[in-house]
Amino acid sequence: MPGYAVGVSPAAEGNPGAVTGIAKMKLDALYSELTVQTGAKLVMLVLDGLGDVATPDQGGITPLEAAATPNLDRLAKESALGRVIPVAPGITPGSGPGHLALFGYDPLEYQVGRGVIEALGLGVELQAGDVCARANFATLDDKGVVLDRRAGRIPTEVCERLCARLQQQIQHLEDTRVIIRPGKEHRFVVVFRGPGLEGPLTDADPNREGLPIPKALPRDPDNPRQQKMARLIELFYRAALPLLADAKPANGFLMRGIAHQPYIPSFEERYRLRAAALAVYPMYKGLAQLVGMTKLEGPRNVREQFERYLDEHDRFDFFFIHHKATDKAGEDGNFEAKKAAIEDVDAALPILLQKKPDVLVITGDHSTPCVVRGHSWHPQPVLLHSRYSGTDRRVRFTEAEANGGSLGVFEARFLIRLMQAHARMLDKFGA
C-alpha cells in the first residue's frame, strides 16, 4: 500500500503511534484528495483563551460554568462537544501557534517568527518575503555598551517620535524598503521589503546589560539571502544610530526575532473555502491574512462582527470570528470580566444564528485560566453544530460537559477537517 506506513522503518521512527500511525503529509494529501466543494457555510467562532479550570482559587467553578449562557446552552444540547489540545500535551501556545493550529496547519511545521507576530500585532500589512524584526530602544554608553536594554521604558509618545524620525531619514537601504512602526513604550518593529531576503538571523541583542550589541548573523552562514539580510541590518544600524545620538536614554536599539514571513499554503487552496476574518485586534487579522483569508475591516465588537457576518454571508464560505476579551480577562486573572466576556458573546449569538451556518464551531485557541493569569496547556472546550452533529446529550457548553462529548480530546489541527466533514466536503476514502 504505497502511501502508508507499513512496518517500522527507521526513518519513520519519529512516530508516536497514538490513535493513528499514518504519516502526516500523506494524511494531508488524503484530505486534499477527498475534498470537494459543496457551497456550505462554515463559521469558526474563537473566544480567545476560552478554557479555564475549576480550582479552589477561583471558587471551584469556571467562567463558562458561572456565566449565564442561555443561547450557548440551547446550542450545546443539539451539538457535539469535546476538548481541543492546542499543540501537544502540556504545550502552552502563543497566539501564532494557537491560531495556525485552528486553521489546520501543524504549528510545529509552520512557525512564525516573533518579529512577524509583532509586526502583525502592530497592523503592518505584510507581504510574502518581508523580513521582520522586533526592536527595543536601549541606552548605550560612549563605547556602545548596553546600559539599559529597555531605555528606562521610555513613554510611548517618545517611542513614536523617535520612530517617525528614523522612518523619515531611512526609507530605503540599497534596493530594500524599510518600514518602521512604533509599539508600546520602548518597543517597535522594523520590516524589510525587498528582493532576495530571508531569515532567520541571530539577535542583535546581548541579552544582558554590560555588553556591546552583537552583529545579527545568518543562522545558516551559507545562505546568500540571509547574508544579504545580515548586511541590511548592519546598514540599518549605521544609518539609524547617528540619528539617535541626542536621544539618550534611547540612543540605541536592539533587534530580535529577525525572520521572514514563512510560506504557508493558502487556506482557500488547502480547504477549497473562500475565507474571511472578522477580528478586532490587528494580530488576529494578521494571522488570518498569513493564510490568505480576506480581512473584513470595521466591526468593533462581537455584535458588529456577527452583523457583518450576516452582510457578507453570501460572499464567503468560511468565517473566522475572533473575540479577544475572554483572553484579556484571563490574563488579568479577572474571573468576573471573563464571565462577562462570555455573556457578551452569548447575548449576541442570536444575531449570528439568523443565518445559521451549515457548520458552526465555537472554541478557543487555547485556555487562559484566571488562576494561571496567562495562556495555558489545558485543552479548550469545543462545540460543533451541524445537521450531522447530533446531540451528545450534554446540557451546557462548559469544560466538564465537553469532557463527555463525542469529539473526545483531539489536536486543534484536525478541527477544520471535522468541520469539512460536517459540511459534507470530504468524500469517502476507499471502497
Between 34 and 351, CB nearer to a copy of itself: 34
* Nearest distance, CB of residue 73 and a copy of itself, angstroms: 16
* Nearest distance, CB of residue 78 and a copy of itself, angstroms: 7
Query: Residue 130 corresponds to which cell in the numbers above?
Result: 518581508
Q: Does 26 bind a copy of itself (CB under 8 A)?
A: yes
* Nearest distance, CB of residue 372 and a copy of itself, angstroms: 6
200, 249, 286, 357: which one contacts a copy of itself (CB under 8 A)?
Answer: 200
Q: Does 60 bind a copy of itself (CB under 8 A)?
A: yes
44, 71, 76, 97: which one contacts a copy of itself (CB under 8 A)?
Answer: 97
Between 113 and 252, CB nearer to a copy of itself: 113
* Nearest distance, CB of residue 42 and a copy of itself, angstroms: 13
Residues between 71 and 90 with contacts to a copy of itself, criterion CB under 8 A: 78, 82-83, 85, 87-90
* Nearest distance, CB of residue 175 and a copy of itself, angstroms: 26
* Nearest distance, CB of residue 305 and a copy of itself, angstroms: 24
Query: Residue 294 corresponds to which cell in the numbers above?
Result: 480576506
Whether 118 and 132 have beta carbons less than 8 Å apart is answered as yes
- The Cα 405–Cα 389 span in angstroms is 11
Q: Does 353 bind a copy of itself (CB under 8 A)?
A: no
- The Cα 290–Cα 134 span in angstroms is 18
Residues between 354 and 383 with contacts to a copy of itself, criterion CB under 8 A: 369, 371-372, 374-379
Query: Residue 57 corresponds to which cell in the numbers above?
Result: 482559587
Residues between 27 and 46 with contacts to a copy of itself, criterion CB under 8 A: 27, 30-31, 34
Nearest residue to 52 via CA among 379, 341, 397: 379
φ, ψ dihedrals at 199, nearest 5°: -110, -170
The window from 152-160, 315-323, 331-339, 423-431 that contacts a copy of itself (CB under 8 A) reads 423-431
Q: Cα(first)–Cα(last) distance of the chain, in Å?
A: 14
The window from 42-50, 145-153, 207-215, 397-405 that contacts a copy of itself (CB under 8 A) reads 397-405
Binding mask 303-332 toward a copy of itself (x if CB under 8 A, else -) reads: ------------------------------
Between 198 and 307, CB nearer to a copy of itself: 198
Whether 177 and 124 have beta carbons less than 8 Å apart is answered as no
- The Cα 326–Cα 233 span in angstroms is 38
Q: Where are the beta strands (DSSP E) in 327-402?
A: 359-363, 380-386
- The Cα 99–Cα 287 span in angstroms is 7
- The Cα 331–Cα 95 span in angstroms is 13
Residues between 102 and 161 with contacts to a copy of itself, criterion CB under 8 A: 106-109, 111-114, 117-118
Number of residues that bind a copy of itself (CB under 8 A): 105
* Nearest distance, CB of residue 60 and a copy of itself, angstroms: 7
Angle made by CA atoms 335, 326, 42, in degrees to the nearest 5:
145
Residues between 211 and 230 with contacts to a copy of itself, criterion CB under 8 A: 219
* Nearest distance, CB of residue 237 and a copy of itself, angstroms: 22
49, 63, 93, 286: which one contacts a copy of itself (CB under 8 A)?
Answer: 93
φ, ψ dihedrals at 259, nearest 5°: -155, 160
Q: Does 10 bind a copy of itself (CB under 8 A)?
A: yes
Q: Does 405 bind a copy of itself (CB under 8 A)?
A: yes
Whether 182 and 188 have beta carbons less than 8 Å apart is answered as yes
* Nearest distance, CB of residue 301 and a copy of itself, angstroms: 25
Q: Burial of 39 by CB count in 10 Å (0-12 exposed, 13-18 middle, 19+ buried)?
A: exposed
User: How many Å is the Cα radius of gyration of the chain?
Assistant: 23
Whether 252 and 137 have beta carbons less than 8 Å apart is answered as yes
- The Cα 114–Cα 141 span in angstroms is 28
Q: Does 269 bind a copy of itself (CB under 8 A)?
A: no
Q: Does 272 bind a copy of itself (CB under 8 A)?
A: no
